[in-house]
C-alpha cells in the first residue's frame, strides 16, 4: 500500500470529516500529496504534502478553481476520493423538497461534476476513482429515502463510468456504519446530518475510522472494484440479493426503533 500511493496526488472531498482525517493520516505516511476539499477546513493544517481547500462542492465554479489550484500545486491528480456526504433521518412524507435536493447535490451531483473536472488529469496518470457509497447504495433503508437515492445514483454512475474507461480504475466502497462523528447525535426529522453521527440503534459493529481507512486504501491499492466494508454490509448484500423480503422485514423493524 505504501509503494502504491508514494509520491501520488490524492484529491479527497469531505476532507475535514472523521473518515477523511484517518485517510489523510495514513496517506501522508505513505508519502502521498493530498488536496483536502471541504466547506470548513479549520482543523486542517497545510504543509508540503497537504493542501486544504475551502470549497462548497455544490458550486461548480469553486470546484473548478480548486482543481486548478491542485494542478498548480502538485502538477497532477492520481486518485480522486469522492468521500463527502450528508444524510437525514425522516420518512419521505416528512422530508422537504429542499432537504432532498441538497442531499442529492452533495452526495451525487457534486461527485459527478468533480469527476468530470478531474478526469482529464486521471486519464493522463492512468489514475483511480474511489466512491464512498453505503449499504444504502444497494439495499433499501427505512427513513433514508434521499440518502439511499443519492447512493444508488452514485453507484450506478461510477460503475457505468468504469465500463467506459480502460485506463482509470474505479473502486466503490460500501460501509455499514463508520463511527466518524461520535460527538454528534443524529436527529429525527431535523434536516441533514453527518452519516457518522451516533444513532439510537446501530446494527452490528461500529467501524473505527482508522480501520475503515486502512481497508479502503488497501482495496484501492489492489484496484478492487467493490468493497463491502463491515460484516453488516456483507450480510445486507446477500440478504437483499437472495431473500429481499426477509431483509426488508428485518431492516424496517430495526430502523423504526430510531424513530421512537
Give me the pLDDT at residue 188, please.
Answer: 62
Radius of gyration of the chain (CA): 18
Place of cell 460501509: 175
Give me the pLDDT at residue 17, please.
Answer: 86
Query: Per-residue pLDDT tens for 32-86?
Result: 999 999 999 988 889 999 999 999 999 999 999 999 999 999 999 999 999 999 9
Collapsed DSSP state (helix, strand, coil) of residue 189: coil
Strands (E), the chain: 9-13, 33-38, 50-54, 79-82, 87-88, 128-132, 169-175, 181-185, 192-193, 197-198, 226-229
CA 62, distance to chain mean position in Å, is 20
CA distances from 40 to 37, 84, 85 (A): 9, 12, 14
Per-position pLDDT tens, the chain of length 260: 679 999 999 999 999 988 999 999 999 999 999 999 999 998 888 999 999 999 999 999 999 999 999 999 999 999 999 999 998 889 999 999 999 999 999 999 999 999 999 999 999 999 999 999 999 999 999 999 999 999 999 999 999 999 999 999 999 999 987 865 555 555 666 667 666 555 555 555 688 999 999 999 999 999 999 999 999 999 999 999 999 999 999 999 988 888 77
Q: Which residues are catalytic?
A: 147
User: Dihedrals φ, ψ of 170, to 5°?
Assistant: -125, 135
Place of cell 508514494: 6
216-114-106 Cα angle (round to 5):
80
Give me the pLDDT at residue 202, please.
Answer: 53
Place of cell 465554479: 61
Contacts of residue 115, defined as CB under 8 A and 6 or more positions apart, other chains included, come to: 80, 82, 129, 158, 161
Domains and CATH numbers, the chain: 2-259 (3.40.50.720)
Collapsed DSSP state (helix, strand, coil) of residue 129: strand
Amino acid at each position: 500500500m505504501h509503494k502504491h500511493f508514494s509520491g501520488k496526488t490524492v484529491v479527497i472531498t469531505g476532507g475535514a470529516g472523521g473518515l477523511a482525517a484517518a485517510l489523510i493520516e495514513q496517506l501522508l505516511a505513505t508519502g502521498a500529496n493530498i488536496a483536502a476539499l471541504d466547506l470548513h477546513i479549520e482543523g486542517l493544517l497545510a504543509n508540503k504534502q497537504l493542501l486544504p481547500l475551502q470549497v462548497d462542492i455544490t458550486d461548480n465554479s469553486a470546484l473548478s478553481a480548486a482543481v486548478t489550484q491542485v494542478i498548480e500545486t502538485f502538477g497532477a491528480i492520481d486518485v480522486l476520493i469522492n468521500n463527502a456526504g450528508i444524510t437525514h433521518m425522516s420518512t419521505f412524507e416528512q422530508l422537504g423538497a429542499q432537504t432532498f435536493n441538497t442531499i442529492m447535490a452533495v452526495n451525487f451531483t457534486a461527485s459527478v461534476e468533480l469527476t468530470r473536472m478531474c478526469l482529464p488529469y486521471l486519464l493522463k496518470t492512468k489514475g483511480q476513482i474511489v466512491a464512498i457509497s453505503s449499504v444504502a447504495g444497494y439495499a433499501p433503508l427505512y427513513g433514508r429515502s434521499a440518502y439511499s437515492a443519492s447512493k444508488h445514483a452514485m453507484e450506478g454512475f461510477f460503475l457505468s463510468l468504469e465500463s467506459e474507461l480502460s485506463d482509470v480504475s474505479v473502486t466503490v466502497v460500501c460501509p455499514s456504519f463508520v463511527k466518524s462523528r461520535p460527538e454528534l447525535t443524529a436527529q429525527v426529522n431535523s434536516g441533514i446530518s453527518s452519516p457518522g453521527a451516533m444513532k439510537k440503534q446501530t446494527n452490528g459493529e461500529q467501524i473505527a475510522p482508522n480501520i475503515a481507512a486502512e481497508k479502503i486504501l488497501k482495496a484501492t491499492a489492489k484496484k478492487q472494484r467493490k468493497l463491502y466494508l463491515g460484516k453488516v454490509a456483507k450480510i445486507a448484500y446477500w440478504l437483499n440479493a437472495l431473500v429481499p423480503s426477509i431483509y426488508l422485514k428485518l431492516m424496517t423493524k430495526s430502523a423504526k426503533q430510531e424513530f421512537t
